[in-house]
């Protein structure tokens, strides 16, 4: 049987507010256990929540960023369940009336095309604390630092058909929220956690199969692998005539399998009802326009501008734009005089490779945008061959100064003087009579290959400084003169 995967994603996005959503406690990552939990976070008797307006603004920014409708009147609800790291015995969330309503998010795929994903809703809620099982023997510790951290839960329609689409969506989401400055999107630290609702159906069918939910997958790579492994599991069951149990599963990255979470005897009934301690959030058009005025240029607009203004292809634009700092770097190179296409090539090629190799962020690049522009200028004006340019790039990386200083210091100027090149070509021809004879005897295709030998000799003799294009032209002319 041939199966089609149908998926919807729920992303829990930690909003980068200074303080928690309902208390004044700090939200910074990595503090000692319970140092960032006050009486409100602990759910002490008589304590009341006070809504952090910054979280509301961030949610509205997100809604505007994906072109969604903003709920004029959204309401907090209590989601009731018992768990030791849930201090009040309920989580304050938005169930009946979310702050961000339906919208469509255009996700760029690798080929540069756009893939629309329908956003069902996004709502504000507070995070729970953390149960620490490995700190004490036979006892569980509770760390409530995270309790009350603002989350935006972003829910999509079941619009995904492949792991690649899911990952592309998550990457685009990551890019959007970092552009908006509402989250650091750090998956490793839990700022962006993904639940995958996944079911299989016969190709061509419109019906939805029974789904499972894979909870809390915390990297792009794991999302891709978890989907593949869950697909295999469900397909095996269905192929052998079995049926899927609707359940929550966890992805085990070490074994690359999903596992059923401890099944509960009864399904959870969260008994949602409106949170009486908080007023509804009323958002009027003025507020929305004020927030809209603060929005930066978003990835979609930037991609369009990069192709239109700089003549980049969709592919390059799609690679440069997601990382805000990388896009800024590119524009700085262009502003400093570097031609756009070579700038994109250098940034996405050698520079990214070197940064990755050394685990350095673009913002901390040892080569400044102006320096890279200087290098590109020297390639464009013919001073540097691509081979020499690599050497200059290495010099830039090593901090040897600007491109011109390195060219000077290393004596890397490309030799484009016809006279000088002619004598080099003549010398190589004179030194290699056998190869010349072979060349002259060969057919056209073979000749092309053999000419490489002479070019190599000349480049070697010139320490790479000979202008390869000119060498080629002169060589062919001289060899043909021999016949």
Chain residues that interact with other proteins, rule: CB under 8 A:
39, 42-51, 78, 80, 82, 84, 87-90, 142, 269, 271-273, 276-279
Nearest distance from C-beta of residue 291 to other proteins, angstroms: 21
CB of 282 to other proteins, least distance (A): 13
Q: Write down the least CB distance from residue 120 to other proteins, Å.
A: 21
Select 43 or 468, whichever has its Cβ closest to other proteins: 43
Going from the C-alpha of 264 to that of each of 88, 247, 248, 260, the distances in angstroms are 21, 10, 10, 11
| Of residues 62 and 90, the one with the C-beta less far from other proteins | 90
Q: What is the dihedral of CA 376, 377, 380, 384, to 10 degrees?
A: -70
Q: How far is the CB of 131 from other proteins (least distance, A)?
A: 10
In the complex with other proteins, the residue whose CB is nearer, 92 or 173, is 92
271 CA to centre of own chain: 37
Please report how close the Cβ of residue 46 comes to other proteins at its closest, in angstroms.
Answer: 4
Helices (H) and strands (E) in the chain, counts: 16, 15
Closer of 115 and 272 to other proteins (Cβ): 272
Provide φ and ψ at 241, rounded to 5°: 85, 5
SS3 126: strand
- Half-sphere exposure for 290 (CA within 13 Å, toward CB): 8
Instruction: State how far Cα 75 lies from the chain centre.
Output: 32
Contact of 82 with 89, CB cutoff 8 Å = yes
Nearer to other proteins, 267 or 293 (CB): 267
Of the two residues 49 and 299, which places its CB atom closer to other proteins in the complex? 49
| DSSP-derived pairing of the beta strands 273-274 and 77-80 | antiparallel
Q: How far is the CB of 271 from other proteins (least distance, A)?
A: 4
Distances (CA, A) of 376 to 306, 336, 386, 459: 18, 10, 10, 21
CB of 135 to other proteins, least distance (A): 16
Using a 10 angstrom Cβ sphere, with 0-12 exposed, 13-18 middle and 19 or more buried, the burial of residue 106 is middle
Cβ proximity to other proteins, 136 vs 357, nearer residue: 136
């Amino acid at each position: 049987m041939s199966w089609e995967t149908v998926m919807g994603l729920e992303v829990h996005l930690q909003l980068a507010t200074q303080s928690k959503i309902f208390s004044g406690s700090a939200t910074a990552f990595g503090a000692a256990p319970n140092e960032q939990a006050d009486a409100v976070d602990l759910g002490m008797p008589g304590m009341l929540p006070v809504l952090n307006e910054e979280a509301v603004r961030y949610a509205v920014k997100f809604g505007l960023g994906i072109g969604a409708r903003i709920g004029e009147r959204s309401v907090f609800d209590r989601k009731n369940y018992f768990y030791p790291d849930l201090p009040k015995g309920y989580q304050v969330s938005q169930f009946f009336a979310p702050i961000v309503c339906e919208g469509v998010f255009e996700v760029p795929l690798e080929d540069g095309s756009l893939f629309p994903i329908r956003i069902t809703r996004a709502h504000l809620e507070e995070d729970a604390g953390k149960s620490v099982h490995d700190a004490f023997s036979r006892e569980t510790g509770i760390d409530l630092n995270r309790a009350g951290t603002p989350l935006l839960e972003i829910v999509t329609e079941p619009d995904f058909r492949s792991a690649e689409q899911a990952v592309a969506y998550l990457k685009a989401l990551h890019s959007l929220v970092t552009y908006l400055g509402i989250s650091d999107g750090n998956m490793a630290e839990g700022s962006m956690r993904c639940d995958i609702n996944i079911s299989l159906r016969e190709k061509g069918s419109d019906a939805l199969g029974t789904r499972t939910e894979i909870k809390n997958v915390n990297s792009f790579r794991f999302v891709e692998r978890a989907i593949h492994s869950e697909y295999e599991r469900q397909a095996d069951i269905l192929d052998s005539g079995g049926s899927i149990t609707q359940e929550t599963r966890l992805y085990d990255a070490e074994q690359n399998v999903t596992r059923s979470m401890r099944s509960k005897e009864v399904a959870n009934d969260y008994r949602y009802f409106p949170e009486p301690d908080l007023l509804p959030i009323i958002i009027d058009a003025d507020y929305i326009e004020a927030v809209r005025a603060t929005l930066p240029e978003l990835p979609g607009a930037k991609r369009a501008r990069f192709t239109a203004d700089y003549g980049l292809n969709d592919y390059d634009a799609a690679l440069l734009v997601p990382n805000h700092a990388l896009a800024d770097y590119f524009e700085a190179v262009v502003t400093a005089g570097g031609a756009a296409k070579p700038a994109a090539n250098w940034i996405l090629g050698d520079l990214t490779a070197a940064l990755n190799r050394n685990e350095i962020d673009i913002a901390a690049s040892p080569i400044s945008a102006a320096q890279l522009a200087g290098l590109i200028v020297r390639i464009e004006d013919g001073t540097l061959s691509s081979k020499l340019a690599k050497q200059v790039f290495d010099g830039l990386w090593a901090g040897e100064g600007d491109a011109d200083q390195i060219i000077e210091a290393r004596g890397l100027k490309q030799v484009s003087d016809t006279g000088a090149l002619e004598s080099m070509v003549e010398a190589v021809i004179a030194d290699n009579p056998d190869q010349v004879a072979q060349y002259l005897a060969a057919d056209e295709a073979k000749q092309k290959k053999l000419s490489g030998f002479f070019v190599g000799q000349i480049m070697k003799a010139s320490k790479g400084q000979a202008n390869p294009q000119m060498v080629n032209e002169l060589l062919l002319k001289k060899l043909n003169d021999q016949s």
